[in-house]
Amino acid sequence: MEDRSKRWEMVFAARMMQIVPGIFLGNVQASFRREMLRQNGINAMVSLTDARWVWWNSTTREAGIPASRHKWVQCADSSTQDLLAHMNDICDFIDEMTSSNLPAERSSSTRRQQSHGLDDHPHDAPAGTVLIHCDLGVSRSPTIIIAYLMRKYGMKLEQTRAFVQLKQKAKPSANFIRQLQIWEALDYQVWEDEERTIPKALYQAFLNDRAFLLNKRGLTGNELHAPTNL
């Protein structure tokens, strides 16, 4: 009974943890806990869920996160969910929201030579702080944080993954790990063209495998999602 209570608490208790100054990882319950959001200075949010939560329109807004600083990406924690299609847009949004809160981006050559974590670097005064969350804060949201840190600092996937896991228990799914590997191999750009109509070969291979799996399940497009609002 005690073990069941602990598991229940892990799923439903609001949790968030700072990964680097300006970026917090959390679960969906944390996204509408007014006092927790205020105490941690959260003023922007990325939500990676299959449905919108009604509390975002009340409690979350009252905590100081306006709709203009809240990005919702409808996605599932599934073996066919494509996050690569959203990664650059989400990373751009995080950059815009955090502004000078994160350490300055290093030149490409300097970044590639960097082997230690981000904790050793000085940080500017806070300008914006973003909560990045999914339902449990275990797979989708850590995937996006890893992708963001890789792009911003040119960090290797395994180094970045280890860094995030030191801060918070995270376990991106095999599907999302594959996408992060593609993200790294393609230098954070999965499209051949600016219009984003021609996938690069590695991304196209992923899309082909995804289409095969979806077809096996009788689906011809994206995942099945929950109702738009919860």
Domain residues of the chain, as ranges? 1-100+126-217
Side chain identity at residue 86, one-letter code: H
Active-site amino acid positions: 134
Give the whole-angstrom CA distance, residue 198 versus residue 202. Answer: 12
230 residues of the chain, pLDDT tens digit each:
555 555 555 567 999 999 999 999 999 999 999 999 999 999 999 999 999 999 999 999 999 999 999 999 999 999 999 999 999 999 999 999 998 666 666 544 444 444 445 665 544 544 799 999 999 999 999 999 999 999 999 999 999 999 999 998 899 999 999 999 999 999 999 999 999 999 999 999 999 999 999 999 888 776 666 556 65
pTM, rounded to two decimals: 0.87
Side chain identity at residue 34, one-letter code: R
Stated length of the chain: 230
Which residues pair with residue 23 across a beta bridge? 20, 130
Q: What architecture (CATH level 2) is domain 1-100+126-217?
A: Alpha-Beta Complex (3.90)
DSSP class of 107: P
Give the whole-angstrom CA distance, residue 98 versus residue 100. Answer: 6
DSSP class of 24: E
Calculate the CA 208 to chain-centre distance: 24
DSSP class of 111: H
